[in-house]
Structure 1
């Protein structure tokens, strides 16, 4: 098993969101439906619950290193988490406008700490089943994702659909975005010479807009939405 894992592409991902946004439940549902994962945490959620999970995304088996953060550790480890990670899931609760408005701050912190104009991320609205308590509309979530240049999902809590299909779709999309950015950087390096980091700030934002061109139909009313065609 250890020999196989050395051959897998690994992606370091972080789940960020305000307290009560549903981060832990989101990660727990993804992990619970995948018993083959390694959980590097105890029964009490502390400051760095880390999970390593193999999934099949596209035509490749990859290893996800997922860090589920809690708000208490943001001061001490926040920058280190962001600096060493490749992709981010930004969560908010559809029942909390405050958690939604906090996403812009998370994004600003990520871009500043990583010194980038674009970093792979996904916006996820949780607690979709609590429609009567909704404070943030799907249109607002989608508009914010459009302004970030990333994909947008709304998901239900554990047991609502009986599987982890929605959670896995989020991670699949994030890995896809990371892959395309990496390939674009490699292509730029081959054409121009020099280091990838020297050119990332110039080339990646425009490229990655198309990397995440599809915004999922989060309410499952129909097929994926395409920016080029507009909402239908």
Structure 2
């Protein structure tokens, strides 16, 4: 279980891992509100569209490790693409957001954003599909089943959230951090095993060579 740490992180020694995350999706789907609410800020009904890029930092704990999340909020406007794509570099996770009351924003996930992510992030980056504004179910136009099917088809996890009511935001970000952490541990464990096996083979080779020389 993850717990939030509200204190800021100012030095490398005060955290164990740094994970860079980015939030992408069309304008007005609630990306900025999601970031601000997860950061502990008040929901603003009339949020100003992000110009270019913005970010927040928050730390959480998982398995007794302090994880610093550096979360970048990108503009959904195409005219800022040349600016925002550079911030994909080094991202370990992507929150892909659409508005459940806007079919256009969901269509953009399929026609624009998935391609955008694949073209600008490393292979194997963790992606979570977010259907925001679940607090207004009467205005829903994108069915949950359709979004879930898209997520399953691409290997994404899927959550419906509400920045206004602060629904599922903690769960989504924590799940992302957990997946990145677990994969990182697996890679390091695999690397350690490979190094140990390689070292063992070298020792055996050296012993054989020593015997040959002595003979």
Hey, what's the Cα distance between the residues in 2 that align with 1:21 and 1:75?
17
Partner of 1:182: 184
Partner of 1:154: 160
Offset at residue 5 of structure 1 (A): 5.1
Q: What per-residue deviation string (whole Å, max 9, x for no partner) do you get for residues 114-167 of structure 1?
A: 352x32011110111221221111111111111121211101232x3xxx4621
Give structure 1 stretches of 5+ with no counterpart.
35-42, 194-232
Partner of 2:121: 114
SS in structure 1 at match of 2:148: helix
TM-score, scaled to structure 2: 0.73
Structure 2 vs 1, CA of residues 91 and 6 (structure 1 numbering), >3 Å: closer, same or farther?
A: same
Hey, what's the Cα distance between the residues in 2 that align with 1:29 and 1:20?
15
Count of aligned residue pairs for this structure pair: 180
Hey, what's the Cα distance between the residues in 1 that align with 2:159 and 2:24?
15
Hey, what's the Cα distance between the residues in 2 that align with 1:44 and 1:70?
7
- RMSD (Å), alpha carbons: 2.5
Partner of 1:127: 133
Q: What per-residue deviation string (whole Å, max 9, x for no partner) do you get for residues 182-219 of structure 1?
A: 223334434556xxxxxxxxxxxxxxxxxxxxxxxxxx
TM-score, scaled to structure 1: 0.68
Higher radius of gyration, 1 or 2: 2
Query: Is 2:84 aligned against 1:82?
Result: no
Partner of 1:143: 149
Hey, what's the Cα distance between the residues in 2 that align with 1:46 and 1:74?
8
Say whether the 8 Å CA contact 2:27–2:49 is kept in structure 1. no
Offset at residue 172 of structure 1 (A): 0.6
Structure 2 vs 1, CA of residues 115 and 48 (structure 1 numbering), >3 Å: closer, same or farther?
A: closer
Give structure 2 stretches of 5+ with no counterpart.
1-8, 43-47, 196-215
Select 1:15's aligned residue among 23, 26, 29.
Answer: 23
